[in-house]
Amino acid sequence: MKSRKWLLTLIAMTLNIFLLFFITPQAHADNCGSFSDCLGTIDAALLALLAVTVIIGLVLLLPEILPFLFEAASEELLIVGEESAEGLIAELEASGTNFSADAMVGITRSAAGDVVWLEEGNASAGLEHIMAGHGGDFANIGIEGEQNVAKLLLDTLNSETPIGVTNNGAKIFQVVVDGVEREIAIVVGKNGFIVTAFPL
């Protein structure tokens, strides 16, 4: 279906180029007398044809464009809970906590009352580290993609209390994914930064 839409758009564009470059003004001479008389009419017709072609192309390609628009929108700061991001970030700033607002993916207040946040991070900590090391593990329990993993972690920290601790100090939480009880481990730094997380 997608290839058909691209093909129709290509045909419309090709037709427009063909009319623009290969149909000469002399073909209209009988209707408007001379090249100079016809030029305005031909230009207007070609501009109208170009506009129609663009509109047709946009209509045909709209289903392919929309997902990218929604994806861009989904990359905005994820906020879990009733408090505003501005208020939570202001609390971090007031406490002197070191963080990167530009790299922040999401923020919330934990069930224990602390401000916790997730940043894009790097290979050692943060969302990049989580997805690189455990993205497949989360997908195996039905949580696919960075945004869904980030939301699960923030939702869990916001509403759940730990049921245990792993040997390396990660807090264990019980969550329900697609009707199935799961356990996930989350490591949060003393400052509230989400270091890593993984399903158990």
Q: Give the mean pLDDT per block of 10 residues along the chain (200 residues).
A: 54 60 49 53 59 66 54 64 90 93 93 95 95 95 94 95 92 94 95 95
**Facing residues of 118 across strands?**
106
- Confidence at residue 79, expressed as pLDDT on a 0 to 100 scale: 84
Could you tell me if 132 and 195 lie in one domain?
A: yes
Q: Please list the alpha-helical segments (H only) found in 2-76.
A: 2-22, 29-32, 35-74
- Quote the tokens at residue 41: 């009419």
Could you tell me if 96 and 54 lie in one domain?
A: no
- Confidence at residue 80, expressed as pLDDT on a 0 to 100 scale: 82
> Which of helix, strand or coil describes residue 26?
helix
- Quote the tokens at residue 119: 């940043």
Q: Domain of 96?
A: 78-199
State how many domains the chain has: 2
* Strand ranges of the sheet holding 180-188, from the earlier edge strand across to the other edge: 164-165, 171-177, 180-188, 194-199
Could you tell me if 100 and 179 lie in one domain?
A: yes
pTM for the whole structure: 0.63
Residue ending a domain, among 74, 104, 130, is 74
Q: Give the CA dihedral 65, 70, 71, 75, nearest 10 degrees.
A: 150
d(CA 116, CA 78): 12
